[in-house]
A and B are shown apart, each in its own frame.
Chain A
Amino acid sequence: MGSDLLRANGMTGGYGGADILKGVDLAVEAGEIVAIIGPNGAGKSTAMKAVFGLVRLREGEIRFRGEDIGACQPDELVRKGMAYVPQERSIFPSLTVHENLEMGAFIRRDDFSHVIDLVYNLFPPLKDKRRQQAGELSGGQRQMVAFGRALMTEPALLLLDEPTAGLSPVYMREIFERVIAVNETGVGILMVEQNARQALKIAHRGYVLATGENIFTDSGDALLANPEVAESFLGGHGNQADRGGTHA
């Protein structure tokens, strides 16, 4: 248990009506990339939001670095070392790229210029556009801003809700490469992905959710190799889910 970054057991709850999550378990160990995949309506994003205190659970326990965080508000979790990139509306459109990054570092009172340099190194296109309003950027570059904003607190665990949704294959690969690069600096990553095959390729472990329950849990490679998973959740070979990765 010592290397556990995040451990959520039996998460049950939703937005007030019927339960969307019916006893979901999730775990991220230090330095891991973990992907949550599954069909629409499986509760993937809801599970991630529950981890980040955006969905109140009826039952279940969430521990972050061993500490019970079930009652924590998002801003407390940011201070404890978590960061979250929502799927939509993940940037401040009227702020410049640079100001977006500064807002990511709002809780920091120390000098964070080295982190800004790090983000610009990770995403070179942002450096040239740092005085531009983030809302004017392309979809892929916006995602870079959102990603960079979340890195500003130098989190131990980064939650990414469909980071490649709506992006072209080129940008999708770029974002996944950056996910790996960030992970190599020791940041644990939990991501929800529709591009399941590509996500599992870079993930150390994966969770397959359906109708609010865990269906499969295994290493990324094992899930890719599992015929049942491929049949039901990866859509077989050569179809839409795979298109982005065929050139990789």
Chain B
Amino acid sequence: MIDFVNQYLIPALVLGGIYALGAIGVSMIYAILRFAHFAHGDLMATGAYIGLLVVWVLDATPLAELSVNVRLLIGLPAAFAGTAAVAILIDRLFYRPFRRARSMIVVVIASFGVALMLRSLVQLFFGVDVINYADGIQFPLKMFQPLRILERHIYIVVVTIALMLILHWFLTRTRTGKAMRAMSDDADLARVSGIDTERVVIWTWILGAGLVAVAGVFLGMDTRLVPTMGWDLLLPVFAAAILGGLGQPYGAIAGGLIIGAMEELSTYPWVGDGPLVPPDYKTAVAFAVMVLMLIFRPRGIFRGRVL
């Protein structure tokens, strides 16, 4: 039983949190800007590599004494802000002109192009090889025996929960957050009510890109960095956003956790000795969920928009 928790449940929570942080942005961008943002995965990779830069920079300071996980936590604000700035710039250059021309399918295709550009930039600066934030094996903390929790998993789960609470506060208590929900409900009505929709768009990118950048750093912490890491995560992140209901940030969180849990738990030996689904194929679980949802319940569990 405790092995199940250590080897499946905790990783499921970690992966689910990472998916959720990505799915929030996909969901909100779809609701507010009305397009499926296919460069979202590569924004995730952008955030992960900004995290790597911070680790390198801190190596040259007295903070190099700190563990790599702590240095990455210090780097989270930089990854958040840097990726948000990149996203706003991309929106200005590549999305807004097409949005003004009201051709949303062109914006979708443009986001494919942006995804390729971002990945190429990462490859240009960091090479195509796998990079780890730090070499060596990390051992689980002893204080929670018999739970074998890795230090990084605690950071990931705690920061993810904190970010979600802040997001909830932002969306329900601040004027800009409420305006985001209003524009996601009805962009035309928001405009005729006098809501500054350009400002809402900027905040959508700040939140969507910032949160997915944090997800990228966490993914890099938990696995490794490769330029295609974001693109590989695009499918489960979209599956999570659709499962939760597009335009529903809380749905995206739930969807992320469910998809993450289903992927991890599908590799548990439920029947016989071997894993139910071989780990290499676990993304297929997310794909299957997405297809089934689109066919039978396209509005997702939280009644979002139809893709």
Nearest neighbor of A52 in chain B, beta-carbon distance: B192
Asked whether, in the complex, the Cβ of B192 is within 8 Å of the Cβ of A103, the reply is: no
In the complex, A95 Cα to B178 Cα: how many Å?
8
What string of 1s and 0s marks CB contacts (under 8 Å) between A144-155 and chain B? 000001100100
| Bound-complex Cα distance A106 to B196 (A) | 8
Contact with B along A88-113 (1 / 0, CB 8 A): 01111111000100111011000000
Residues of the B chain whose Cβ atoms lie less than 8 Å from the Cβ of A102: 175, 178
What residue in chain A is nearest B183 (Cβ atoms)? A92
A contact residues around B181 at 8 Å (CB)? 92, 94-95, 99
- Report which residue of B189, B190, B195 has the largest number of chain A beta carbons within 10 angstroms of its beta carbon: B189
The answer, yes or no, to whether A245 is at the interface (CB within 8 Å) is no
Q: Which residues of A contact B196 (CB under 8 A)?
A: 75, 106
Contact B192 A106 (CB under 8 A): no
Closest approach, in angstroms, between the C-beta of A154 and any C-beta of chain B? 12
A6 interfacial contact with B, CB 8 Å: no
> Is residue A169 within 8 Å, beta carbon to beta carbon, of the partner chain?
no
**A84 contacts the other chain (CB 8 A):** yes
Inter-chain CA distance A84–B190, complex, in Å, is 11
- Which residues of chain A come closer than 8 Å to B232, judged between CB atoms? none
- The answer to whether B185 and A75 have CB atoms under 8 Å apart is no
A54 interface residue, CB < 8 Å from B? Answer: yes
Distance between B181 CB and nearest chain A CB, rounded to angstroms: 6
**What total count of A-B pairs have CB within 8 Å?**
62
Collect the chain B residues with CB atoms within 8 Å of residue A224's CB. Answer: none
A243: Cβ under 8 A from any B Cβ? no
Given the known interface contacts A94-B181, A103-B178, the answer about A86 and B189 at a Cβ–Cβ threshold of 8 Å is yes
Whether the Cβ atoms of B188 and A103 lie closer than 8 Å is no
Q: Which residues of B contact A79 (CB under 8 A)?
A: 194
Closest chain A residue to B248, Cβ basis: A94
* Most chain B CB within a 10 A radius of its CB, from A91, A93, A94, A153: A94
The residue in chain A whose Cβ has the minimal distance to the Cβ of B247 is A94
The verdict on B179 contacting chain A, using a C-beta distance below 8 Å, is: yes
Do the beta carbons of A74 and B189 come within 8 Å of each other? no
Q: A75-B194, A106-B195 are in contact. Are A92 and B182 (CB under 8 A)?
A: yes
Assembly CA distance A54 to B191 (angstroms): 10
> How distant is B99 from chain A, measured CB to nearest CB, in Å?
16
B191 — which chain A residues lie within 8 A by C-beta?
74-75
Please list the 6 inter-chain residue pairs (A to B) with the smallest Cβ-Cβ separation, ordered nearest first.
A78-B194, A92-B185, A107-B194, A92-B182, A106-B195, A103-B182
